[in-house]
Chains A and B, each alone.
Chain A
């Protein structure tokens, strides 16, 4: 089990000093995924004011770190290709703190890049994996089908009508944030409740706007020691808490379709940071689907089981509401190239720095970024603070 006093001793000892997206996000048919990694990596290093030659730790998922490092011309002394879906890049933050603390590296670069929009073909399944024998033959293929199965279980337990209204609330409030982010895929496209309810089915109980976008995009994060962070271009965003884990891979092995590993990684990250839910100014919660937000809010402990529909009611999570959620426009309305988790961190850092223009929160000193990966399988939670 995690040893809390050791974790608390390293809380705040490392900091995020650079974040960036690739040069363009959304639709980039003329760019390959490794190019998006490299663009985002270069941009994040520029954001930090750190030269590529100083990077001695590399972290990525989807590709191996040697693919990305070779492409960028980096020869690291610490390498971590932990690949557990879209949460991977949030989880890499915990690994970077540990590596920096242990002395394995000083400047950690986490990169992401995917062309989910431009290469719509799905990779063939590995026949040795249980999914190939026990799920895909039944048409349980891809996240929309799997997550809709989980969502229907939630509806059964906690009420179909109130769950439906909550999913609509999340979709509409997230769209409102996207309408304030010029990088968002749906920046120019508002959505009403009626439009949500009248939209077509993808996999019942999911309407189209319950499902995240499929875009091209890359992003990167630069992390170094708190000491070294002081001399970087924009200073430190302190990493106060970080936690991770998973409890299944294929959907039918999920112990409870309404509870994610966030039930562990959320409380652990908060305790490590020495803060509570009420202290947070911003929650960036991976919204692969509207339902993901409902299950995650409860798992993280923002509210109890079955209480998310009340928690998100009346556009409380929208601009002007008292629980700012996914202020970039999220995976639902800003960008989602396949493994979106890193973008929760990019937005949290920008809000903490006061860089988000018209959607900037009045008060933002403490934020949570939370990634979910696979089929609600893995989670990573970080608590970030700005002095």
Chain B
């Protein structure tokens, strides 16, 4: 674990083990329904669209665009005290699904960041088991 990391840390669950193993290996893995032929997020075995369990894993390109973002000035949790202002966001992946994330390696300024801006995934290692997929300007 990075020294002093005191933010919430994901605890992988049975349906998400492979997602987090992928992130550790530098891959953004998504579930895809082989009946709907549609990728979806977050990972679960049963397709939320059609309800079938004929689903598989794919590796996403990591290309996305910003669907929305905010700039947090008052930390909502002690772990983010030294991070403000930071930029939480929802991004739309090239494969279609949206996911929550953070935009990093950019100035936290609404005149610099914009909705629809192209971003790409980067993986930030926070523990031996967990790397968080974050996004930076493409």
Q: How far is the CA of A139 from the CA of B71 in the complex (A)?
A: 11
Report A-chain residues with C-beta under 8 Å of the C-beta of B72: 139, 145, 148, 202-204
Report B-chain residues with C-beta under 8 Å of the C-beta of A135: 100
Residue of B41, B70, B126 contacting most chain A CB atoms (<10 Å): B70
A183 on the interface (CB 8 Å rule)? no
Residue from A142, A152, A252 within 8 A of B100 (CB atoms): A252
Residue from B70, B86, B99 within 8 A of A252 (CB atoms): B99
Residue from B11, B73, B75, B101 within 8 A of A138 (CB atoms): B101
Interface size of B by Cβ–Cβ distance < 8 Å? 38
Do residues A250 and B77 form an inter-chain contact, with CB atoms below 8 A? Answer: no
Given A139-B88, A145-B70, A201-B73, are A133 and B99 also a contact pair (CB < 8 Å)?
no
Given A145-B88, A204-B110, are A252 and B98 also a contact pair (CB < 8 Å)?
yes
Given A148-B70, A149-B88, A252-B98, are A139 and B110 also a contact pair (CB < 8 Å)?
no
Provide a sorted-by-A list of 6 A–B residue pairs whose CB atoms are within 8 angstroms.
A138-B132, A141-B77, A149-B68, A153-B67, A156-B115, A204-B72
B123 on the interface (CB 8 Å rule)? no
Do residues B7 and A133 form an inter-chain contact, with CB atoms below 8 A? Answer: no
Q: How far is the CA of A353 from the CA of B138 in the complex (A)?
A: 59
Residue from B68, B102, B115 within 8 A of A139 (CB atoms): B102
Which residues does B use to contact A, with CB under 8 Å? Answer: 7-13, 16, 41-42, 67-77, 80, 83, 85-86, 88-90, 98-102, 110, 115, 126, 132, 134
A92-110 Cβ-contact flags toward B at 8 Å (1 or 0): 0000000000000000000
Give the interface residue-count category, chain A.
35 or more
Do residues B99 and A134 form an inter-chain contact, with CB atoms below 8 A? Answer: yes
Do residues B90 and A125 form an inter-chain contact, with CB atoms below 8 A? Answer: no
Report, nearest first, the 10 A-B pairs whose CB atoms are least far apart: A204-B71, A153-B68, A127-B11, A133-B10, A148-B70, A252-B100, A141-B76, A201-B73, A136-B8, A156-B115
Kindly provide the distance from the CB of A236 to the nearest chain B CB, expressed in whole angstroms: 43
Kindly provide the distance from the CB of A281 to the nearest chain B CB, expressed in whole angstroms: 36
Do residues B74 and A202 form an inter-chain contact, with CB atoms below 8 A? Answer: yes
Report B-chain residues with C-beta under 8 Å of the C-beta of A139: 7, 72, 75-77, 80, 83, 86, 88, 102
A257 on the interface (CB 8 Å rule)? yes
A266 on the interface (CB 8 Å rule)? no
Do residues A251 and B115 form an inter-chain contact, with CB atoms below 8 A? Answer: no
Given A133-B42, A138-B101, A139-B80, are A149 and B70 also a contact pair (CB < 8 Å)?
yes
Q: How far is the CA of A252 from the CA of B100 in the complex (A)?
A: 6
A122 on the interface (CB 8 Å rule)? yes
Do residues A125 and B100 form an inter-chain contact, with CB atoms below 8 A? Answer: no
A132 on the interface (CB 8 Å rule)? yes
Q: How far is the CA of A35 from the CA of B8 in the complex (A)?
A: 32
- Across the two chains, which residue of chain B brings its CB closest to A157? B115
Do residues A130 and B68 form an inter-chain contact, with CB atoms below 8 A? Answer: no
Given A127-B13, A134-B42, are A144 and B101 also a contact pair (CB < 8 Å)?
no
Residue from B74, B77, B83, B100 within 8 A of A203 (CB atoms): B74
A151-164 Cβ-contact flags toward B at 8 Å (1 or 0): 11100100000000
Report A-chain residues with C-beta under 8 Å of the C-beta of B76: 139, 141-142, 144-145, 203
